[in-house]
């Protein structure tokens, strides 16, 4: 099989595509023939050895994928071979095959092709649970979304709007704000040209946002926290800025605010019922026409340039690696309950 290969930590331009032995699923595992894999900022951080956990060299990066079941390991009753599935791993998705525990797979929602499914599973679940499960956002509330044209940010804008929230999108240019406003954002802040705290407060009638979702971090995090109204909620979900912010805790006290961190893998481990409820809600939105914003699709041979573009913030929405050159076999559908 072909796979991206990282042999030394550093910029993603050093990634190569190599031939490797085919994989075999072990007990409780499923072998998936990968059709598409989405690029996420943590992939860039893992290649650079700047993520919260370390991937030992050499390794194949890539975390979010969609494909079809190719084989079942011992003790696994389903999903059937040929079923379309999506899933997530820490590493290994930028390859034609990936092995994953059966519990880590989800059915591809009806209506999504493989490219959109690869961009959906982790990103949209992260956005949904940041807004709803953790952020406790409700219709009519103001939600400020940082990095609003990026992967998680654009998903959060889309979902919040569909749930009836009023969205203030924050991004680094007018062009990126236009993307967020096409997804339903009511207002926008260019945090390169404008003061983030002041503009969010102005746009929300002087009261501030009820909820902030921040996948960016860096210097903008404190300004967004200051833009919360009393009793507001701040959810940190990532650090695409490359710098982890230091928050003055007296702000949390003075605002009677709630600051929460969120990571989708932890929720899947400790709150499977909440994950299932989120999956159902997202599937309904897909049936109503929601689709991930995919700005670029690259073949596997261009994986290094794809990650470089994400690292340098040249993209909006999601970037996806197509493992099939646009050609894939027919697939069958399955439900979560079909898996053992």
DSSP line for 115-154: HHHHTTTTHHHHHHHIIIIIT---TT-EEEEESTTSHHHH
**216: which 2 tokens?**
């960016």
3-state helix, strand, coil in the chain (%, to 5): 35, 25, 40
Output the pLDDT for position 104: 87
Output the pLDDT for position 211: 99
For residue 139, pLDDT over 80 is answered with yes
Residues 6+ apart with CB under 8 A from 10: 47, 48
Residue 126: which pLDDT band, with cuts at 50, 70 and 90? very high
199-239 tens-digit pLDDT: 999 999 999 999 999 999 999 999 999 999 999 999 999 98
Q: What is the pLDDT averaged over residues 63-92?
A: 96
d(CA 253, CA 289): 41
58 upstream amide cis, omega within 30 of 0 = yes
Picking from 32-41, 184-193, 205-214, 319-328, which range would have the lowest pLDDT averaged per residue? 319-328
Output the pLDDT for position 330: 34
For residue 189, pLDDT over 70 is answered with yes
Q: Quickly tell me which residue has 């899947």 as its tokens.
A: 268
- Short-list 339, 335, 329, CA closest to 35: 329
For residue 33, pLDDT over 60 is answered with yes
| CA–CA distances in Å: residue 95 to residues 31, 128, 311 | 12, 28, 20
For residue 269, pLDDT over 90 is answered with no
166-180 tens-digit pLDDT: 999 999 999 999 999
Using a pLDDT cut of 70, give the percent of the chain over it. 95
Output the pLDDT for position 111: 87
Using a pLDDT cut of 90, give the percent of the chain over it. 86
Output the pLDDT for position 338: 38
Output the pLDDT for position 265: 85
**Is 63 in contact with 42 (CB distance < 8 Å)?**
yes
**Count of CB atoms within 10 A of residue 246's CB?**
8
d(CA 330, CA 335): 17
**108: which 2 tokens?**
């591809």
Q: Quickly tell me which residue has 């924050």 as its tokens.
A: 170
What is the 3-state secondary structure of 240-275?
CCCCCCCCCHHHHHHHCCEEEECCHHHHHHHCHHHH
324-340 tens-digit pLDDT: 865 443 333 333 333 32
**Is 64 in contact with 37 (CB distance < 8 Å)?**
yes
**Is 167 in contact with 157 (CB distance < 8 Å)?**
yes
Taken in order of first residue, the domains within the chain and their CATH numbers are 2-120+292-338 (3.90.180.10), 124-265 (3.40.50.720)
Q: Is the pTM of this model over 0.85?
A: yes
277-299 tens-digit pLDDT: 999 999 999 999 999 999 999 99
């Amino acid at each position: 099989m072909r796979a991206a290969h990282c042999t030394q930590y550093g910029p993603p331009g050093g990634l190569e595509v190599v031939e490797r032995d085919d994989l075999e699923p072990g007990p409780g595992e499923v072998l998936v023939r990968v059709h598409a894999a989405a690029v996420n900022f943590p992939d860039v951080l893992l290649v650079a050895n700047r993520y919260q956990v370390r991937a030992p060299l050499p390794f194949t990066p890539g975390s979010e994928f969609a494909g079809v079941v190719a084989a079942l390991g011992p003790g696994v009753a389903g999903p059937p071979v040929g079923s379309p599935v999506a899933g997530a791993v820490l590493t290994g998705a930028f390859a034609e095959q990936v092995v994953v525990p059966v519990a880590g797979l989800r059915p591809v929602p009806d209506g999504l092709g493989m490219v959109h499914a690869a961009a959906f599973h982790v990103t949209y679940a992260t956005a949904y649970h940041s807004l709803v499960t953790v952020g406790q956002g409700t219709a009519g509330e103001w939600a400020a979304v940082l990095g609003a044209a990026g992967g998680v940010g654009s998903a959060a804008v889309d979902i919040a709007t569909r749930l009836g929230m009023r969205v203030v999108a924050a991004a680094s240019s007018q062009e990126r704000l236009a993307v967020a406003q096409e997804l339903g954002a009511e207002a926008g802040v260019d945090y390169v040209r404008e003061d983030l705290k002041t503009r969010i407060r102005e746009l929300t009638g002087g009261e501030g946002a009820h909820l902030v979702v921040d996948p960016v971090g860096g210097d903008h995090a404190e300004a967004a926290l200051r833009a919360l109204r009393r009793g507001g909620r701040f959810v940190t979900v990532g650090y695409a800025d490359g710098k982890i912010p230091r928050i003055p805790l007296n702000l949390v006290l003075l605002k009677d605010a709630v600051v929460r961190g969120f990571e989708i893998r932890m929720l899947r481990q400790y709150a499977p019922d909440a994950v299932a409820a989120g999956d159902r809600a997202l599937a309904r939105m897909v049936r109503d026409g929601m689709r991930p914003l995919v700005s670029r699709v690259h073949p596997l041979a261009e994986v290094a340039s794809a990650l470089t573009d994400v690292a340098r913030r040249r993209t909006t929405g999601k970037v996806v690696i197509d493992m099939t050159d646009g050609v894939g076999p027919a697939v069958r559908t399955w439900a979560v309950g079909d898996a053992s």
